């Protein structure tokens, strides 16, 4: 019975590590995606304003 508990504990730890890695990868991807979207907004705003932020 002790061996079964050991295998169950090992499987649980492995699943936890995989979940942590997946969450970390998703967080990194969302950071890049956020920058990409912000760049798109800036590019479209620059095209509307001809690159000028304020009228002089």
Q: Which run of H or E residues covers position 15?
A: helix 2-49
> What tens digit of pLDDT does each residue of 1-48 get?
456 666 677 888 999 999 999 999 999 999 889 998 988 888 887 777
How many Cα atoms within 13 Å fall on the side-chain side of residue 19?
A: 6
Q: What is the pTM of this model?
A: 0.56
Tokens of 13: 């730890």
Tokens of 1: 């019975």
Q: Where are the domains of the chain?
A: 1-46
């Amino acid at each position: 019975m002790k061996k079964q508990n050991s295998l169950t504990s090992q499987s649980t730890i492995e699943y936890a590590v995989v979940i942590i890695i997946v969450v970390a990868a998703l967080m990194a991807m969302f950071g890049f995606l956020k920058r990409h979207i912000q760049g798109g907004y800036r590019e479209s705003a620059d095209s509307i304003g001809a690159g000028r932020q304020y009228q002089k």
